[in-house]
Amino acid sequence: MDAETENPPLSCRDDNKHGFLSAEKALAVDEPQSDPPDSQASVSNGGDSEMEKELVELKIIWNKNKYDLKFPLDSTGTDLKQKIHSLTGLPPAMQKVMFKGLLPEEKTLREIKVTSGAKIMVVGSTINDVLAVNTPKDSTQHEVKSEETKKEPLCRQKQHRKVLDKGKPEDVMPSVKGVQERLPTVPLSGMYNKSGGKVRLTFKLEQDQLWIGTKERTEKLPMGSIKNVVSEPIEGHEDYHMMAFQLGPTEASYYWVYWVPTQYVDAIKDTVLGKWQYF
């Protein structure tokens, strides 16, 4: 009996010993579950590199559509054209991107001082738009143009002669014949309107407006409200054009401007109408 009574304490001691060991093992297993401070820091630092890219908020305007875009400030004009392609389907080669003039492809948005909220004007037609211009429409347009050539030139008509007979304004901007240039950063000035008064044209690309200024007042016209733009070289001074902005449904609404330098004519049409001109 003495031997039997001694065995249970030995068994209890063994069990307690095993119990302490299992508790220690449990603590040892639980401890590694918390990540070391250094490990957590290395993970967060890896995410911060993406956040360091400075983004700028842009409003892309194309074909009367507007797209809100956040874009890296240190990306180039070429990068922006690729992004515009993904938004609109307009190939980069067919894009004319304007921000205070034609957007340079090789410079970054930071270098040309693009700020948050800036409006980027895009001019161009998609390949589908070009293909939609079928042959019958082309032939009709050629017929209309041939009829127009038979008519008396606009500059010989009485209503225009009274302005053109005043001669070329002394302060008109210089012209460069046979060259197409983008719009200057300053207003086009020194021209005449239909009444023979001085007029200047200011293209507010950020506001999508054309400002027509005279001595008396300045008309601020949304470019989307201008139905058409027509022009014709001035006979005897082909390096200058007479140009009209159609503000209503008929020709009676034409606002005429005389002595527009020829190198800016195409840029004016592209900017106001928001599409490529096929003539």
Give the 3-state secondary structure of 131-146: HHCCHHHHHHHHHHHH
Which pLDDT tens digit goes with each residue over 162-205? 999 999 999 999 998 888 898 888 999 999 999 999 999 999 98
Taking the C-alpha atoms of residue 222 and residue 210, their distance in angstroms, rounded to an integer, is 6
Nearest to 201 by CA among 279, 266, 264: 264
**3-state SS assignment for residue 199:** strand
Q: Which of 3-12, 207-216, 258-267 has the lowest mean pLDDT?
A: 3-12
- Residue 275 tokens read as 């599409």
Considering the entire predicted model, what is its pTM? 0.49
Q: Which of 5-9, 132-136, 150-154, 236-240 has the highest mean pLDDT?
A: 236-240
pLDDT value of residue 153: 81
pLDDT value of residue 94: 85
pLDDT value of residue 129: 61
For residue 181, give every residue at least 6 positions away whose Cβ sits within 8 Å of its Cβ, in sequence order, or none: 263, 264, 267
Task: Provide the terminal-to-terminal Cα distance of the chain, rounded to the nearest Å.
Answer: 122
* Strand 254-261 versus strand 237-246 pairing type: antiparallel
Taking the C-alpha atoms of residue 242 and residue 5, their distance in angstroms, rounded to an integer, is 125
- Residue 231 tokens read as 């022009």
Which pLDDT tens digit goes with each residue over 110-144? 999 999 989 998 988 766 665 555 445 444 555 55
The 8-class DSSP code of residue 67 comes to: E
Region 65-86: what's the mean pLDDT? Answer: 92
Q: Which uninterrupted H or E stretch holds 121?
A: strand 118-123
Distances in whole angstroms, Cα of residue 140 to Cα of each of 133, 149, 222: 11, 14, 30
Q: Which of 2-16, 52-66, 240-254, 261-275 has the lowest mean pLDDT?
A: 2-16
Q: Say what percent of the chain tops pLDDT 70.
A: 70
For residue 195, give every residue at least 6 positions away whose Cβ sits within 8 Å of its Cβ, in sequence order, or none: none
Inform me whether the pLDDT recorded for 224 exceeds 80: yes
pLDDT value of residue 145: 53
Taking the C-alpha atoms of residue 149 and residue 152, their distance in angstroms, rounded to an integer, is 8
Q: Which residues pair with 204 in a beta bridge?
A: 209
pLDDT value of residue 160: 92
Which pLDDT tens digit goes with each residue over 80-116? 999 999 988 888 888 889 888 888 889 999 999 999 9
Which pLDDT tens digit goes with each residue over 238-274? 999 999 999 988 888 999 999 999 999 999 998 898 7
Region 12-18: what's the mean pLDDT? Answer: 48
pLDDT value of residue 81: 92
Burial class of residue 265 in the structure, from the number of CB atoms within 10 Å of its CB (0-12 exposed, 13-18 middle, 19+ buried): buried
Taking the C-alpha atoms of residue 69 and residue 223, their distance in angstroms, rounded to an integer, is 22
